[in-house]
Amino acid sequence: MTLGTGKVSPAAKTSAAKTLAFTLLEILLVLALIGLIGAITAVGISGALNNDHPTPDDVFWQACRSAQKLASLSGRDTSLGFDPKEKKLVWSNGQETASAALDNSRGEVSVQFLQAATGGSLILIAGHVVETQEVPRVQFYPDGTCMAFRVQFRIGSNAWHLAIDPWTCAPVLEKTENKS
């Protein structure tokens, strides 16, 4: 390898350089692995930091779909109600029962089922119009329909309601006035 002068031959320099250097493929592979590990870590951290809980509306619609499905599959009327102690929606056809819990992290949560007629019995509480003709449970029928009702959600001092169409068990769209 050495010439008589103690110098390293050019061939020895290139073979030594080849054994000490990384190829472009190796560098790209390491960068890809670092990127993959970083992406997995970022997703895990954002999921751990994200306190996104389902809204009462989301839980209500999941419960409605489940109650409607239970009624259709069992061929029996299925009732849906709210358990105020456990803070959960409960549906049952007399043989099977299931439930879905509401998230209390944003404040005290309550759900009321109300008669379908608008303007029945209204009172004003803390600047919010509140229905007072409550029904304990609503019914879903085996043919895919449900009783006409309204649902009122309350989180802390905020309240809102939805009217439910008895034929589709979907929300009734509010009429909007055309201001032209």
58-94 pLDDT, tens digit each: 889 999 999 999 999 999 999 999 998 888 999 999 9
Contacts of 83 by beta carbon, 8 Å cutoff, 6+ apart: 89, 90, 99
pLDDT of residue 56: 83
Edge-to-edge order in the sheet of strand 88-92: 97-101, 88-92, 78-83, 137-140
Cβ-contact 133, 114 below 8 angstroms: yes
Q: What is the mean pLDDT of residues 10-39?
A: 80
Between CA 93 and CA 104 the distance in angstroms is 27
| Structure tokens given for 54 | 């389902």
> What fold characterizes domain 59-164?
minor pseudopilin epsh fold (3.55.40)
pLDDT above 70 as % of the chain: 73
Which phi-psi region, left, alpha or beta, contains residue 128 (left: φ > 0; alpha: ψ -120 to 50)?
A: beta
Q: Alpha helix (H) ranges present in the chain?
A: 10-20, 24-49, 56-74
- Does the global pTM surpass 0.85? no
Contacts of 92 by beta carbon, 8 Å cutoff, 6+ apart: 78, 79, 98
